[in-house]
Amino acid sequence: MRWVRCLLSMHPDGACLRLLLACLLLTLGLSALVARADVGVDRPGGDYTHFVLKSGDPGVCASRCEHDPRCRAWSFSYPTPQGAQAACWLKSSVPARVKSDCCVSGVQGAGVHAPASNDVEFGINRAGGDYKTLDIQPDSSGERCEATCKGEQRCRAWTYIRPGYQGASARCVLKEHVTIPRRDPCCLSGVVR
């Protein structure tokens, strides 16, 4: 309650100012802990268990960590063109972040949120309206597929399918009309405006 009196005081003393500063720093520190998972980041090490995720959904990995009292952090890896299935690693510590397109990682309490983008819809499949499907080089950003769509007059939307979800190859599906977006960890999509 002292912090409330400090806050209401017109002329706080030095101890009161230190208390208010400590409260502010604690609030900022706690907001940093309410983290989001990092797409394109791995946290190697600290594993105490791992398992295959048939759904291929990083959100399931985050949820498993959230409900396991031993878990402090987690890493999810997408399926690979070589046939490895999507997997989740639960960690008893919080290893350092390492940039890696293979993975999505977070700490306990971190939900999976798509990176903010005006052009790319992460974790979205726009099923239907297909007029062309191309095998392309893996590209975790979806930029190649987007550029291919923008290069064709007929294309109104696109979906990039990560390798391992619908076959070994990465695929770019071009669409002649815009379809309803559906959440699906396999894909990145976009609409040509």
Does the pLDDT value for residue 69 go beyond 50?
yes
What is the DSSP secondary structure assignment for residue 69, as one 8-state letter?
T
Kindly state whether residues 6 and 23 are assigned to the same domain: yes
- Answer whether 80's CB lies under 8 Å from 163's CB: yes
- Answer whether 189's CB lies under 8 Å from 126's CB: yes
Mean pLDDT over the full length of the chain: 84
Kindly state whether residues 51 and 65 are assigned to the same domain: yes
Does the pLDDT value for residue 95 go beyond 50?
yes
Distance CA 161, CA 189 (A): 9
Structure tokens at 42: 């791995």
Residue 18 within any structural domain of the chain: yes
pLDDT per position as a tens digit, 106-128: 999 877 766 667 789 988 999 99
Kindly state whether residues 182 and 166 are assigned to the same domain: yes
Of 113, 117, 68, the C-alpha closest to 88 is 68
Q: Higher confidence at residue 173 or residue 4? A: 173
What's the mean pLDDT in 25-51?
71
Kindly state whether residues 56 and 99 are assigned to the same domain: yes
Domain housing 176: 121-191
pLDDT > 70 in the chain, percent: 80
Distance CA 106, CA 110 (A): 6
What's the mean pLDDT in 9-15?
57
Secondary structure of residue 46 in the 3-state scheme: coil
Structure tokens at 83: 């046939």
Q: How many domains does the chain have?
A: 3
Does the pLDDT value for residue 189 go beyond 90?
yes
Does the pLDDT value for residue 140 go beyond 70?
yes
